[in-house]
């Protein structure tokens, strides 16, 4: 069990560029979540996968954001045409069916200049 891995840990980009984050969940976990955290706030739900199916998306999730989980293993979160307001920590978590006990990765910090 190597935990939840996220890559890259830090990303600095210019406004208007596209960025992609990767998450590798705990191998036996079938559920995967993306959250966003801004300074001084708690994490905010973005989207949720069960195996390869994206079952829920936050109403706050802009159409510039897209997430995939091909083959129900790793997941990617892409942000197109980044804006300064996208600057945040993007957190991935995974869980095993039954109780929704989340294990988080270390996060990917995005800075949009």
Partner 1 sequence: GIQVEQSPPDLILQEGANSTLRCNFSDSVNNLQWFHQNPWGQLINLFYIPSGTKQNGRLSATTVATERYSLLYISSSQTTDSGVYFCAVPDLSSGSARQLTFGSGTQLTVLP
Q: Is the dihedral of CA 66, 60, 89, 93 positive or negative?
A: negative
Among positions 15, 51, 73, 101, the unique one binding partner 1 when judged by CB under 8 A: 101
d(CA 61, CA 44): 10
Both tokens of 2, joined, read 């190597």
Contacts of partner 1 in 44-83 (CB under 8 A)? 44-45, 48, 55-56, 58
Q: Quote the least distance from Cβ 102 to partner 1, whole Å.
A: 6
Residue 23 near residue 4 (C-beta atoms within 8 A): yes
Question: Which parts of this chain interact with partner 1 (CB under 8 A)?
Answer: 31, 33, 40-45, 48, 55-56, 58, 89, 91, 93, 99-104, 106-107, 109
């Amino acid at each position: 069990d190597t935990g939840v891995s996220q890559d890259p840990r830090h990303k600095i980009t210019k406004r208007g560029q596209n960025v992609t984050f990767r998450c590798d969940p705990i191998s036996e976990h079938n559920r995967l979540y993306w959250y966003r955290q801004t300074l001084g706030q708690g994490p905010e739900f973005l989207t949720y996968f069960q195996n390869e199916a994206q079952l829920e998306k936050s109403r706050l999730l802009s159409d510039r954001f897209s997430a995939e989980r091909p083959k129900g293993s790793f997941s990617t979160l892409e942000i197109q045409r980044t804006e300064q307001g996208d600057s945040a920590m993007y957190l991935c978590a995974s869980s095993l069916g039954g109780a929704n006990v989340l294990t988080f990765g270390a996060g990917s910090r995005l800075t949009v200049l």
